[in-house]
Amino acid sequence: MKTIATDIRNQSLRKIYLLCGSETYLVRHCVRMLRKAALGDDENSEMNFDSFNEQNFDYRAFSDSAQTIPFLATYRVILLDECKPTDEIDAFISLLEEMPETTLIIMTMKSVDKKTKLYKAVTKYGYVADLSELTGQNRIDFVAREFQKYGKGVSASDAAYFAENVGGDLYNLMNEADKVASYAEGRDRVTRADIDEVCVMQTENRIFDLIGEIAAGHGQNVMGICADLMYLKESPMRILRLLANEYLRLATLIELKNKGLSVSSISQETKTPDWLVKKRLGLIARMDSRMIRHAVELIGTTEQNIKSGDIDMQTGLEIMLADLSCV
C-alpha cells in the first residue's frame, strides 16, 4: 500500500496495478484510492470507467476500452475484478505495451502465481500489491485507528487484546469496533470490559483457552469454558474437532521448535502469524508430546463412542475434558 500511496502522491500512476490477497477491505480501499487519484470526483468520471468481472469479462470489449482515449479527463480506468485473461495472455501483454499512457488498469485477485506470464508482465509495466491479512502490530494499529474515528482512545494492551480475540477480516473488526464505541458512548476511552461485554470472541480463541486450562489442570475453568461454548451454540462434535486440530498444530510446533527453527521460520513454515506462533509456544512450554498424543487419542476415542451411540455428545465431551484435566 505504501508504494501505491507514493505513486498517487507523486502523481506518477503506472499502467497497471494487480491487487492480490485475502483482505478484501484493503483491496477495495486501494481500488478506491487509485480510481479517485485517476478520475477524481468530476461529472465525467463514470464515462471514463469500465468494470469487468469473471462472469462478464469479454477480452475484445476490454481491449477496445483500454485503447480508448479518455473523455475530458487525464485517465481512463478499467477494473478487472477476478478476471484472468489466461487464453489471451500474449495479446494482453502486447496491449500493455501499446495502450495509451492515459489508460490505467486495476486488477484484483485472491492469489496469483509468480511464475505466470501475467505476474511477470504486471511487474514489468506496473506493480503487484500483496494485500493479505493484517497481522501483528499492523492489525493492532488498525484497531487503534478505528477507535480514534469515533473519538475513543484505547490502551495498547486493550487494542492488542481486541485485535487478537475478535476474529474475521478487517470489515468484521470495523463492525465490532463500531459496536464497542457505541456501547462506550459518553466516555472518551474503551476498556477491556467493554470489549468483553460487546464482542463475539473467536471460537478458536476459546478453544485455545480451553487447552491452556486443561494443561494447568484447572478442571472447573475447563468446564466453564465448555459451558460458554455450548451457550454460543457450538456443537460438542465441532468442539471435539477444533480441539483435535489445535492439538495437532501444537504437535507440529513442538517438532519445528525441536529442530531449532526461529519464530519467524516457524511462522513461514506453518503460514501462521508471528504473534500466534509465540502464543502457542507459550502454551507448549507447559506441555509435552506425550500429553498431546494422549489428548488426540482420547478425542478420537470419544468421537467414535459418540458416533457408535455408546454415549451422547455432551456427556462424552464433558467426560473427556474431565479426564484430560486430570492428566
- The CATH number covering residue 140 comes to 1.10.8.60
Residue 44 has pLDDT above 70, yes or no: no
Phi, psi of 105 (to 5 degrees): -105, 130
User: What's the CATH number where 285 sits?
Assistant: 1.20.272.10
Out of 8-22, 119-133, 217-231, 266-280, which region has the weakest mean confidence (pLDDT)?
Answer: 266-280
Residue 197's pLDDT is what?
A: 81
- Number of domains, the chain: 3
Say what the pLDDT of residue 200 is. Answer: 64
Interval 225-243: pLDDT, tens: 898 888 777 888 989 998 9
Instruction: Assess whether 223 and 280 both reside in one domain.
Output: yes
Among 130, 157, 185, where does a domain finish? 130
**pLDDT in the model for residue 42:** 66
pLDDT computed for residue 15 by the predictor = 94
Q: Which tens digits make up the pLDDT trace of 104-137?
A: 999 999 888 889 999 999 999 999 999 887 878 8
pLDDT of residue 81: 93
Same domain, 98 and 142: no
Residues 35 and 66 in one domain: yes
51 strand-pairing partners: 79
Identify the domain boundary among 175, 198, 221.
198
Which of residues 130, 163, 178 is at a domain's end? Answer: 130
Find out whether 177 and 146 touch, Cβ atoms under 8 Å.
yes
Residue 113, number of CB atoms within 10 A of its CB: 8
Report residue 3 as a C-alpha cell. 508504494
Q: Hey, CA dihedral for 204, 206, 208, 211, is it positive or negative?
A: negative
CATH number, domain of 37, equals 3.40.50.300
In this structure, is the dihedral angle defined by the CA atoms of residues 37, 39, 42 and 46, taken in order, positive or negative? negative
pLDDT at position 128 is 95
State the number of CA atoms in the 13 A half-sphere of 287 facing the CB.
29
Mean pLDDT throughout 214-231? 88
Residue 240: CB partners within 8 Å, gap ≥ 6? Answer: 299, 302, 303, 317, 320
| 8 A C-beta contact, residue 221 and residue 213 | yes
| pLDDT (0 to 100) of residue 207 | 87
Which of 55-69, 115-129, 160-174, 213-227 has the least mean pLDDT? 160-174
pLDDT(202) > 70: no
Q: Are residues 54 and 7 in the same domain?
A: yes
What is the residue range of 180's domain?
Answer: 136-198
pLDDT for 327:
61
